[in-house]
Amino acid sequence: MTITAAADGSALGNPGPNGWAWYIDDANWAAGGSPHGTNNQGELQAVLELLRATAGTSEKLVIECDSKYVIDSITKWMPGWKRKGWRKSDGGPVLNRDLMEALDEAMRGRDVTFEWVKGHAGHPLNEAADERANGAAKAYQAKQEPNRGPGFTRGAADVEAPMATQPDRDWLAPADDARADSPSPAAASVVPVASPAELPAEPLWAEASDLFDGLDDAPADDPIELRLTLSGDEHARLADLADAQGVTLEEALRRLI
186 and 243 inside one domain: no
216 and 183 inside one domain: no
In a domain, 205, yes or no: no
Report in angstroms the alpha-carbon separations of 55 from 11, 20, 106, 192, 203.
27, 18, 8, 34, 35
**Are 9 and 140 in contact, with CB atoms under 8 Å apart?**
no
pLDDT at 73: 97
162 and 232 inside one domain: no
110 and 172 inside one domain: yes
133 and 221 inside one domain: no
The 3-state DSSP class for residue 87 equals strand
In a domain, 248, yes or no: yes
**Are 145 and 188 in contact, with CB atoms under 8 Å apart?**
no
21 and 100 inside one domain: yes
In a domain, 204, yes or no: no
State how far the Cα of 106 lies from the Cα of 49, in Å rounded to an integer: 9
State how far the Cα of 135 lies from the Cα of 146, in Å rounded to an integer: 7
Which residue, 158, 175, 198, sits at the end of a domain? 198
166 and 250 inside one domain: no
State how far the Cα of 3 lies from the Cα of 62, in Å rounded to an integer: 6
CATH of the domain at 177: 3.30.420.10
**Are 45 and 99 in contact, with CB atoms under 8 Å apart?**
yes
230 and 108 inside one domain: no
In a domain, 206, yes or no: no
Per-residue pLDDT of the chain (257 residues; tens, 9 = 90+): 899 999 999 999 989 999 999 999 999 999 999 999 999 999 999 999 999 999 999 999 999 999 999 999 999 999 999 999 999 989 999 999 999 999 999 999 999 999 999 999 999 999 999 999 999 999 999 999 999 999 999 864 444 333 333 444 443 333 333 333 433 333 333 333 333 333 333 333 334 444 444 444 444 455 667 777 876 656 666 766 666 555 677 777 776 77
Supply the DSSP string of 12-24, one letter for each residue.
Answer: SSSSEEEEEEEEE
**Side-chain-facing half-sphere of 131: CA atoms under 13 Å:** 11
Beta bridge partners of 32: 20
136 and 219 inside one domain: no
pLDDT at 142: 97
Range of the domain at 217: 212-256
218 and 156 inside one domain: no
Q: How many domains does the chain have?
A: 2
Question: Which DSSP symbol is given to 93?
Answer: B
In a domain, 174, yes or no: yes
In a domain, 161, yes or no: yes
Catalytic residues: 8-9, 43, 66, 120, 130
**Nearest partner of 53 among 37, 32, 38, 78, judged by Cα:** 32
State how far the Cα of 23 lies from the Cα of 8, in Å rounded to an integer: 9
In a domain, 65, yes or no: yes
Question: Which DSSP symbol is given to 88?
Answer: -
Which residue type occupies 10? Answer: S
91 and 185 inside one domain: yes
In the sheet with 60-65, reading across from the earlier edge strand, the strands are 28-37, 16-25, 2-11, 60-65, 112-116
End-to-end CA distance of the chain: give it in Å, rounded: 47
The H-assigned helical ranges of 180-231 are 185-189, 208-211
State how far the Cα of 200 lies from the Cα of 233, in Å rounded to an integer: 31
Report in angstroms the alpha-carbon separations of 90 from 81, 84, 87.
11, 10, 8
In a domain, 207, yes or no: no
237 and 165 inside one domain: no
